């Protein structure tokens, strides 16, 4: 009788133990590929032992489109095709980091949708055309893959290098007609090279653009007196933002700030900008500055602040025009 009384609890304990070790429901314990779930989320399924597959159109947490880049295809077209998958004006992320074998842009790359982030590949990209951010396209970001577009072993390899041969503004942001404001533009971590461009080339040009955010960029010019590294024009209201850790080399004018310089409108210049750790090297011959080179040229500007950095080898380090007011240089 006593043995029977002990047997019942022991049997129950064994049963509970076996039940706890049984496979949990809903878990695939084999290596076979499960059937895709119902719903609208696009997922590329693969066997457990296979290499993960790049998802070309996932809408999981954020709208993300991985650019489709067959070898030697046009990077600009791949980026524009990816942008076309988004619903305006909500935007999304264009991930072109896999496009390391797409080393050209065959036509003007126009960004005509707001709220976009474009992730560029670790590659040198040749572009004989412009990159245009249309007027009014808010919150566009262009992001390279490495600090100032280089590596520790080579300043122009290993990162993102945009090699522009366009004889004008390589990157045109905002409205050259000075009518429609553009709020919010970010660029960081790439090398913009205009060394093989014409004498009228410029690196980045901003017209009537506010809340600009540039950081960790390296701009390299051709050595022409007429080339300009960074151009800010506030005509129509103002242009300005934050500029941090920029390296600008070999331009006739490293940085130009200007605006509406005549007529009844007052103070629509390059305004309210802060420049930190700005490093400009002008053109030199045999160690002497070339005549006419200007590091910082404030033709029209109000309330701009320069903190730290260095301006070297320029005929004129900093030039303040008649419409340059309230500048702080530390």
Report yes or no on 99 lying in a domain.
Answer: yes
Angstrom distance (rounded) from CA 219 to CA 190: 9
Report yes or no on 24 lying in a domain.
Answer: no
Report yes or no on 109 lying in a domain.
Answer: yes
Confirm if 133 and 174 have CB atoms less than 8 A apart.
yes
**Secondary structure class of 172 (helix, strand, coil):** strand
pLDDT in tens, 222-254: 988 889 999 999 999 999 999 999 999 999 999
Report yes or no on 131 lying in a domain.
Answer: yes
Report yes or no on 213 lying in a domain.
Answer: yes
Within the chain, residue ranges assigned H as helices are 2-20, 75-83
DSSP strand E in 113-240: where?
A: 116-119, 124-127, 131-133, 140-143, 161-164, 169-174, 182-193, 202-207, 209-220, 228-233
pTM attached to this predicted model: 0.80
Phi/psi region, residue 175 (left: phi>0; alpha: psi -120 to 50; beta: rest), is beta
At residue 151, the pLDDT reads 56
Sign of the C-alpha dihedral computed for residues 118, 67, 83 and 128 taken in this order: positive
Q: How many domains in the chain?
A: 1
Confirm if 219 and 245 have CB atoms less than 8 A apart.
no
Instruction: Give the residues of the chain that fall short of pLDDT 70.
Output: 1-62, 151-157, 263-266
Q: Which residues of 268-300 are buried (b: 16+ CB within 10 A; e: fewer)?
A: bbbbbbebbebbbbbbbeeeebeeebbbbbbbb
Report yes or no on 176 lying in a domain.
Answer: yes
Residue 256 is part of which domain span? 59-329
Does the bond joining 221 to the residue before it have cis omega, within 30 degrees of 0?
no
Report yes or no on 252 lying in a domain.
Answer: yes
pLDDT in tens, 264-284: 666 799 999 999 999 999 998
At residue 9, the pLDDT reads 47
Angstrom distance (rounded) from CA 219 to CA 103: 19
At residue 18, the pLDDT reads 47
Confirm if 248 and 219 have CB atoms less than 8 A apart.
yes
Report yes or no on 267 lying in a domain.
Answer: yes
If you compute the radius of gyration of the chain from its CA atoms, what whole number of angstroms results? 28
At residue 47, the pLDDT reads 47
């Amino acid at each position: 009788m006593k043995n029977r009384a002990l047997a019942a609890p022991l049997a129950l304990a064994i049963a509970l133990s076996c039940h706890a070790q049984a496979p949990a429901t809903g878990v695939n314990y084999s290596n076979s590929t499960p059937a895709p779930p119902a719903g609208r989320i696009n997922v590329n399924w693969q066997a457990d032992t296979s290499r993960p597959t790049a998802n070309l159109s996932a809408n999981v947490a954020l709208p993300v489109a991985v650019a489709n880049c067959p070898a030697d295809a046009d990077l600009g077209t791949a980026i524009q095709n990816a942008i076309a998958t988004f619903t305006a004006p909500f935007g999304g992320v264009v991930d072109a980091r896999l496009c390391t074998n797409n080393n050209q842009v065959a036509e003007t790359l126009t960004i005509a949708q707001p709220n976009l982030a474009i992730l560029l590949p670790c590659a040198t990209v040749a572009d004989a055309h412009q990159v245009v951010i249309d007027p009014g396209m808010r919150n566009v970001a262009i992001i390279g893959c490495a600090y100032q577009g280089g590596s520790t072993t080579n300043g122009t390899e290993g990162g993102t290098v945009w090699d522009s041969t366009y004889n004008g503004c390589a990157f045109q942001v905002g409205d050259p007609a000075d009518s429609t404001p553009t709020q919010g533009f970010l660029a960081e971590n790439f090398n913009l090279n205009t060394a093989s461009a014409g004498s009228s080339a410029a690196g980045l040009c901003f017209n009537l653009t506010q809340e600009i955010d540039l950081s960790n960029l390296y701009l390299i010019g051709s050595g022409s007196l007429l080339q300009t590294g960074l151009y800010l024009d506030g005509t129509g209201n103002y242009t300005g933002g934050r500029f941090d850790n920029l390296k600008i080399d070999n331009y006739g004018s490293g940085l130009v700030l200007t605006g509406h310089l005549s007529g009844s409108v007052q103070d629509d210049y390059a305004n309210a900008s802060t420049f930190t750790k700005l490093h400009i090297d002008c053109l030199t011959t045999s160690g002497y500055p070339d005549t006419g080179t200007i590091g910082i040229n404030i033709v029209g500007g109000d309330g701009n602040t320069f903190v730290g950095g260095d301006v070297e080898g320029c005929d004129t380090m900093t030039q303040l025009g008649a419409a340059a007011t309230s500048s702080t240089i530390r």
